[in-house]
Amino acid sequence: MPVFDTPIHTDDNNLNKVLAQPLPIALFLNDSRQKPDTPLDDAINTIAKKKAGMVLVARVDVAANPKTHASYGSLPTPAVVTLVKGTIGRKVKSQAGNIRPADARAHVDYLLDKGPLPTPKQTEAPQASASNGSSVRPQTVTDSSFRSVVLNSKVPVLVDFWAAWCGPCRMIAPEVDRLAQEYAGRVKVVKLNVDENQRTANQFQVRSIPTFLLFRDGQVLERQVGANPRVLRDMIEESLLPAR
């Protein structure tokens, strides 16, 4: 294949052609409706030039290509998704939203096995305070506590099935924290580590992570696979509506 030393601009219709290329891919998602980010644009252009032949740098404008945006969990833009060849198709190696130039470089280094997995930002948006001024965090549940905490709960419960090695799980963790804070007293937000609690994960047929299940009155009301903050909020709001 030819060596590209500038980013490839692609779209919903042609992204699969880009993903079919043999090189590792750094996919940058931007939104043309937002103010131009010259420092980040310069960093992406520099990466494409310096890493030509080692990594394929691609860009997608999510304003015109919502399908691609949704397929990667509607990450807050600007965002990066790094991809490597998997057993079938492409496999996401790392991803992050609200990135800066340093994030772009760090994720590409990780893609090329030249650096550690970048640490997700924990302060992308300010957390609201609980009514009494205290901080509310998601509760950890296990196989043994799942029934009492989740199935017997008097309020709806959002369960985050996650694992420590899961990049998308870490990416969406700050949003899960915010939801726990915002809906404290009305909805429980809990986390279950699937590696340590396989019985419950198998019981509810959790096959990929992150998976979110919304329980009400001991029954699954909604299921979401993947890191999509907007869907999580919609799930919670749905659980607060009167039962039909």
Domain boundaries, the chain: 8-111, 139-239
Contact 167, 95 (CB under 8 A): yes
On the 0-12 / 13-18 / 19+ scale of CB atoms within 10 A, 61 is: middle
pLDDT at res. 135:
62
C-alpha 56 chain-centroid distance: 22
Q: Which amino acid is at 119?
A: T
Q: Which fold has domain 139-239?
A: Glutaredoxin (3.40.30)
| DSSP-assigned letter for residue 161 | E
Give the global pTM: 0.53
The CATH classification number of 8-111 equals 3.40.30.10
Task: Give the count of beta carbons closer than 10 Å to the beta carbon of residue 6.
Answer: 12
Torsion sign across C-alpha atoms 243, 172, 27, 56: negative
pLDDT at res. 133:
47
Domain 8-111 and domain 139-239, same fold? Reply is yes
Averaged over 41-54, what is the pLDDT? Answer: 95
- Of all residues in the chain, the percent with pLDDT exceeding 90 is 59
Question: Bridge-partner residues for 9, per DSSP?
Answer: 59
User: Token pair of 122, please?
Assistant: 């924990």
53-112 tens-digit pLDDT: 999 999 999 999 998 888 777 778 999 999 988 655 678 888 888 899 999 999 999 999
Residues with catalytic roles: 166, 169
User: Token pair of 238, please?
Assistant: 């749905």
